[in-house]
């Protein structure tokens, strides 16, 4: 794990800054929050994140927590999950929620967009098979709809199924009645969200800090 034995020194901060694009001040703030959540331990576990009150009523609480322990989000070609993470892994996952800097090239902006969409895709591809299946998609939609209290589970299930068929029509075109839609690949995912501005919409506030505010102060 990429944990530190004590407060990161300036060299470690600078290395992490180059890797995540967080400023040195932002990294210091996030390191303090990491230590609070881990109760001054060198690693963070799922149970530490489960204590965050702002997450309790979040319909995708499970997916958010799991994202921090998903190797795909902080290791190249990573597979599976880990039981605990160090500060470096924590910071790497947090960086997906950074707003883009104002002075970046279109190539850099597109690279950031693709990385954020890959992160979102991984959150819902829970079995790490490269496809968001109907069951995985249905689960997310059902959670979002049924937890609002306005719809029952069966109604939410029906809406999820209909939504998946709509996604299939966008991804692969009209389907015959006997065709089976295996699910959303990452390329389909990119196609579905084409034209939707995602770069500045992925914010995180459940850690008692607002990365949007942090970036407004330092992302130039």
Residue with the bigger pLDDT between 145 and 10: it is 10
Asked if 166 contacts 60 with a C-beta cutoff of 8 angstroms, the reply is no
pLDDT band at residue 216 under the 50/70/90 scheme: very low
> Does residue 113 have a pLDDT over 60?
yes
Asked if 74 contacts 89 with a C-beta cutoff of 8 angstroms, the reply is yes
* Domains in the chain: ranges and CATH: 9-98+204-219 (1.10.238.10), 101-203 (1.10.238.10)
Q: State the Cα–Cα distance between residues 9 and 160, nearest whole angstrom.
A: 49
**pLDDT tens-digit series, residues 151-183:** 666 776 777 777 767 766 666 665 555 555 677
pTM exceeds 0.85, yes or no: no
User: What is the SS3 assignment for 114?
Assistant: helix
Q: What is the mean pLDDT of residues 66-87?
A: 93
The pair of structure tokens assigned to 216 is 């407004």
H-assigned helices in the chain: 10-20, 24-37, 46-50, 61-67, 87-94, 106-124, 134-146, 153-172, 186-192, 211-218
Supply the pLDDT for residue 215: 41
In 3D space, the residue among 99, 111, 97 whose CA is nearest the CA of residue 220 turns out to be 99
The pair of structure tokens assigned to 31 is 């390191």
The pair of structure tokens assigned to 119 is 């992160």
> Does residue 45 have a pLDDT over 90?
yes
pLDDT band at residue 132 under the 50/70/90 scheme: confident
């Amino acid at each position: 794990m990429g944990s530190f034995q004590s407060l990161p020194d300036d060299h470690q901060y600078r290395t992490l800054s180059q890797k995540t694009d967080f400023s040195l001040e932002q990294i210091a703030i996030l390191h303090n929050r990491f230590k609070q959540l881990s109760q001054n331990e060198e690693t963070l576990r799922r149970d530490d994140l489960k204590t965050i009150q702002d997450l309790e009523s979040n319909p995708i609480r499970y997916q958010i927590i799991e994202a921090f322990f998903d190797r795909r989000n902080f290791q190249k070609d990573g597979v599976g999950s880990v039981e605990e993470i160090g500060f470096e892994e924590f910071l790497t996952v947090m960086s997906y929620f950074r707003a883009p800097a104002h002075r970046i090239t279109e190539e850099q902006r597109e690279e950031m967009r693709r990385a954020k969409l890959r992160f979102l895709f991984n959150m819902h591809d829970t079995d790490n098979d490269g496809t968001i299946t109907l069951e995985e998609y249905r689960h997310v939609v059902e959670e979002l709809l049924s937890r609002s209290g306005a719809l029952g589970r069966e109604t939410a299930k029906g809406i999820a199924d209909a939504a998946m068929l709509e996604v299939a029509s966008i991804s692969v075109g009209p389907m015959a009645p006997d065709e089976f839609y295996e699910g959303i690949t990452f390329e389909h995912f990119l196609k579905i969200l084409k034209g939707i501005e995602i770069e500045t919409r992925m914010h995180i506030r459940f850690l008692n800090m607002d990365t949007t505010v942090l970036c407004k102060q330092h992302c130039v």
